[in-house]
């Protein structure tokens, strides 16, 4: 798991002692991904990153320090995974290479655990996007590409409230057809 890491023996022990923390984070924050071995491995890499960067003198427990590192690594994995799925859609997406980490479909929806759980348990981006009209697809594509709402407004020529309204409509469309 951490062969290629230049971890000290103390850091390796910290990783070995806290490996169940990755499992806990997966169950707590990503319940639909518990069986995703790749996501778990990404979480383990996040744990190794935390072990390498952790300093005892900061006065924080290792688990407190490690959880955000694990979540960040798993979130980046999800972004890559969903970005790859989104690239196969027949929807115009922004071709801006300066966007380092585009957001996932889940992150762009308003915080609603029912929708997030449905997405995590099987609704793919392609299936969700297929239910939307042309304008909603364009807005969602921009959002998935990492654009902020003001940038989307300029690109499609709609007001901020109009973009938010269309994002809510998209969420409602997906919610009503799945529910």
Q: What is the pLDDT of residues 5-17, one digit of tens each?
A: 688 899 999 999 9
Structure tokens at 89: 């859609």
**Dist. CA 173–CA 179, nearest whole Å:** 10
**Contact between residue 102 and residue 83 where contact means Cβ atoms under 8 Å apart:** yes
* 1-87, CATH topology level: Rna Polymerase Sigma Factor; Chain: A (1.10.1740)
Going from the C-alpha of 155 to that of each of 29, 136, 152, 169, 173, the distances in angstroms are 34, 13, 5, 19, 23
Going from the C-alpha of 25 to that of each of 20, 71, 153, the distances in angstroms are 9, 7, 36
Query: Would you say the pTM of this structure is higher than 0.95?
Result: no
Can you give the pLDDT at residue 119? 45
78-117 pLDDT, tens digit each: 888 777 665 554 444 444 444 445 555 555 544 444 444 4
Can you give the pLDDT at residue 96? 47
Instruction: Give me the helices (H) in 98-144, please.
Output: 105-108, 113-120, 125-130, 134-144
Average of pLDDT values for 30-43? 82
Q: Where in the chain is the domain with CATH 1.10.1740?
A: 1-87
Q: What are phi and psi of 150, to 5 degrees?
A: -60, -35
**Among 51, 148, 49, 138, residue whose Cα is nearest residue 98:** 148
Structure tokens at 97: 């290479």
Running DSSP on this structure, what letter comes out for residue 4? T
Can you give the pLDDT at residue 37? 86
**Contact between residue 144 and residue 92 where contact means Cβ atoms under 8 Å apart:** no
**Contact between residue 107 and residue 116 where contact means Cβ atoms under 8 Å apart:** no
């Amino acid at each position: 798991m951490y062969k290629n890491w230049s971890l000290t023996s103390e850091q390796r022990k910290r990783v070995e002692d806290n490996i169940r923390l990755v499992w806990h984070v997966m169950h707590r924050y990503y319940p639909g991904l518990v069986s995703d071995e790749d996501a778990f491995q990404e979480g383990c890499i996040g744990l190794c990153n935390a072990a390498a960067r952790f300093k005892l003198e900061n006065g924080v427990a290792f688990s407190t320090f490690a959880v955000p590192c694990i979540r960040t690594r798993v979130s980046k994995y999800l972004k890559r995974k969903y970005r790859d799925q989104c690239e196969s859609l027949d929807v115009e997406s922004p071709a801006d290479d300066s966007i380092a980490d585009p957001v996932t479909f889940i992150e762009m929806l308003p915080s609603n655990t029912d929708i997030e759980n449905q997405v995590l348990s099987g609704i793919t981006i392609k299936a969700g996007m297929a239910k939307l009209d042309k304008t909603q697809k364009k807005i969602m594509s921009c959002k998935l590409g990492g654009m902020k709402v003001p940038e989307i407004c300029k690109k499609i020529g709609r007001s901020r409230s109009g973009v938010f309204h269309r994002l809510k409509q998209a969420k409602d469309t997906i919610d009503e057809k799945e529910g």
